[in-house]
Amino acid sequence: MLNNFLPNDHVQTVFEITPEFLHEKGIKGVITDLDNTLVAWDQAEATPEIIEWFKHLKSSGIEVTIMSNNSEKRVSFFSEPLDIPFIYKARKPKRAAFKRAKKAMELPEEQIVVVGDQLLTDVFGGNRANLFTVLVVPIVETDGFFTRFNRLIEKRLLDYFKSKGKLNWEE
Measured distance CA(122)–CA(131) in Å, rounded = 11
Tell me, yes or no, whether 35 lies in a domain.
yes
How much is the average pLDDT of 64-81?
Answer: 96
Q: Is residue 134 a part of any domain in this protein? A: yes
Note down the domain range covering 40: 2-163
pLDDT tens profile 39-71: 998 888 999 999 999 999 999 999 999 999 999
What CATH number has the domain bearing residue 40? 3.40.50.1000
Residue 137 domain-assigned (yes or no)? yes
| Distance, CA of 80 to CA of 86 (rounded, Å) | 8
Mean pLDDT of 140-162: 78
Q: Per the domain annotation, does 170 fall within a domain?
A: no
Query: 169 in a domain, yes or no?
Result: no
Q: What is the mean pLDDT of residues 89-96?
A: 96
Please, are residues 109 and 126 in contact by the beta-carbon 8 Å criterion? no
| Contact status, residue 150 vs residue 118, Cβ threshold 8 Å | yes
What's the total number of domains in the chain? Answer: 1
Structure confidence at residue 171 (pLDDT): 52
d(CA 143, CA 60): 33
Q: What is the dihedral of CA 163, 128, 72, 32, to 10 degrees?
A: 60
pLDDT tens per residue, range 101-137: 999 999 999 999 999 999 999 999 999 999 999 999 9
Mean pLDDT of the residues in the chain: 92
158 in a structural domain: yes
Round to whole Å and give the CA distance between 136 and 103. Answer: 24
Determine the distance from the C-alpha atom of residue 106 to the mean position of all C-alpha atoms in its chain, rounded to a whole number: 19
Please give the pLDDT value at position 143.
61
pLDDT band with cut points at 50, 70 and 90 for residue 142: low
* pLDDT value, residue 43: 82
